[in-house]
Amino acid sequence: MSGAVPWNEARAQEIIDAHLGLEGPALPILHAIQEEFGYVPEAVVPQMAQSLNISRAEMHGVVTFYHDFRHAPAGRHVLKLCRAESCQSMGSEKIAKDFLERIKLEWGGTANDGSLTVEAVYCLGLCAHSPGALYDGEPIGRVDAEILDELASEAQKS
């Protein structure tokens, strides 16, 4: 999942410059930065502010508004569990709570060995196969304890 490279200011500038021709380039740049480095480093904020000709405060405001931009690298694997109503109708809250207890994590937390980050997500459009999940971008329907435990141990091994 996160085959991310270490922070590199020159590379970040290349990414920023490549998007400057777009109308409203901030989000595409932030996505590309996160894709490259695995998160949105604090250092990119002044750099983007400079290139986009806006204040650092405004840029900071944009980065922090969106749930998807990470402020620190995630684990090697990311599991997003859906907590929206449709999944709740099929018991997702209990399944998730029990799982988080078993692996001793809270929502948004990363396992000590860095293998897995578990995040909440609100609807994946898998509502006819609730509960739904996304593991490293791969969708999973009808999630249960067995599936989650398998994913957690798979994450540890790779």
Partner 1 sequence: MTKVYVPRDMAALAVGAKRVLAAVEKEAAARGETIQIIRNGSRGLLWLEPLVEVETPEGRIGYGNVKPSDVPSLFDAGFLKGGAHPLSIGKVEEHPYWAKQTRVTFERVGIIDPVNLDDYVAHGGGQGLAKAFEIGPAKVIEEVTKSGLRGRGGAGFPAGIKWKTVADAPADRRYVVTNADEGDSGTFADRMVMEGDPFVLIEGMTICGYAIGASKGFIYLRAEYPQCAEVLTEALEAARKGGWLGPNVRGSGFAFDIELRIGAGAYVCGEETSLLESLEGHRGIVRAKPPLPAHVGFMGRPTVVNNVLTLATAPAILAKGGEYYASFGVGRSRGTMPLQIAGNVKFGGLYETPFGLTLGEIVNDIGGGTLTGRPVRAVQCGGPLGAYVPPSLFDTPFDYEAFQKHDSLIGHGGLVVFDDTVDMLQMARFGMEFCAIESCGKCTPCRIGSTRGVETIDKIVEGVDVEANIELLSDLCNTMKFGSLCALGGFAPYPVESALRHYPEDFRKATLPAAAE
What does the binding site for partner 1 look like in residue numbers (CB under 8 A)? 22-28, 30-31, 52, 58, 61-62, 65-69, 80, 84-90, 121-130, 132, 134, 137-142
Task: Give the residue with the Cβ less far from partner 1, 104 or 148.
Answer: 148
Residue 10 to residue 15: CA distance in whole angstroms: 9
Closest approach of partner 1 to the CB of residue 113, in Å: 26
Closest approach of partner 1 to the CB of residue 72, in Å: 16
Closest approach of partner 1 to the CB of residue 66, in Å: 4
156: left (phi over 0), alpha (psi -120 to 50) or beta: alpha
Closest approach of partner 1 to the CB of residue 84, in Å: 3
Residues 6+ apart with CB under 8 A from 55: 49
Closest approach of partner 1 to the CB of residue 49, in Å: 12
Task: Give the residue with the Cβ less far from partner 1, 46 or 139.
Answer: 139
SS3 assignment for 77-111: EEEEEECCHHHHCCCHHHHHHHHHHHCCCCCCCEC
3-state helix, strand, coil in the chain (%, to 5): 45, 10, 40
Task: Give the residue with the Cβ less far from partner 1, 64 or 113.
Answer: 64
Residue 143: which of 104, 68, 86 has the closest Cα? 86
105: left (phi over 0), alpha (psi -120 to 50) or beta: beta
